[in-house]
Amino acid sequence: MTIRNSGKYMIRFLNRSNSFKFKLNGFQKQTNIGTLNTFAPKRIKSGNCWNCGAERKNISLVFCEKCNMIQNPHEKENYFKVFDIQEKFNIDQQLLRSKFRKLQSLLHPDKFSNRTDQEKTISEEYSSLLNKAYSNLQVPLKRAEHLLNLKGEEVGESQSITDPSFLLEIMTLNEEVENANKIEKIKRAEPKK
C-alpha cells in the first residue's frame, strides 16, 4: 500500500488491484485506475471564466459577468487593445492616462492581497501588462515601433538607412516643416491691424 499526502489530497493505492482510494477536500472515493480521467478537472475554454466556467460573452471585460472573479488578460500583444483605444499614432494622451489609472485602480495586486493565489497571479500579470503597455503607448517612438511591429515590420535603433536619395528627401521635408513652423510663429508675432 502506498500513501501520498500533500495536504490538499491523499491517494492510497491498494495492493494487487487496479483501484485506489483518494481523498480530495474531504471527499473520499474508491475507483478503478481506468476511470481516473473522469475525476480530472474540466478544461476551461479560453472564452470561459477560469473560476465558474461560465461562457464570457465579452472577453474584453476584466471580471466575469457571473461570479465577478478577475479574468486573465484577453490581449497581451496589442497594447492598443489592452486600453481599448484605436490603433493609430496620434492618440489622446489624456484618455490613455485615464484608462490606465482606472484599470490599475481595479487590478492592482494590493487589491488582491487577501484573495486566492490564482487571483493574485492574474492581478500581478495584468498590472505588469498595463504598466508595459502604458509606457510603450505614452512615448511616441515606442508607440510607432509598436504599431510597426503589429503590422509585421521589425524596427530597431541598430537599423540604418543607406539610400542617399531617401535621406535627402527626408532632410528636405524636415526643412520645409521647420520653415512652415517659423512662418506660423512670424504670423502670430505680427501686430494685428
- Cα–Cα distance between 30 and 170 in angstroms, integer? 76
- Cα–Cα distance list, 66 to 45, 52, 70, 102 (Å): 16, 8, 11, 22
End-to-end CA distance of the chain: 103
pTM of the entire predicted model: 0.58
Residues 6+ away with beta carbon under 8 Å from 46: 59
Please report the pLDDT score of residue 159 as a whole number.
Answer: 67
Closest CA to 134 of 160, 108, 103: 103
Question: One digit per residue, pLDDT tens: the chain, 193 residues?
Answer: 444 444 444 444 444 444 444 444 444 545 444 333 333 334 445 678 888 888 888 767 888 889 999 998 888 899 999 999 999 999 999 999 999 999 999 999 999 999 999 999 999 999 999 999 999 999 998 999 999 999 888 766 666 777 888 888 888 888 888 887 777 766 665 655 5
Residues 6+ away with beta carbon under 8 Å from 18: 32, 33, 34
Provide the CA 144 distance to its chain's centre, in angstroms. 19
Is 12 within 8 Å of 3 (Cβ atoms)? Answer: yes
Please report the pLDDT score of residue 190 as a whole number.
Answer: 62
Please report the pLDDT score of residue 140 as a whole number.
Answer: 92
Domains of the chain (ranges, CATH numbers) = 2-39 (no CATH), 79-150 (1.10.287.110)
55 secondary structure, DSSP code? B
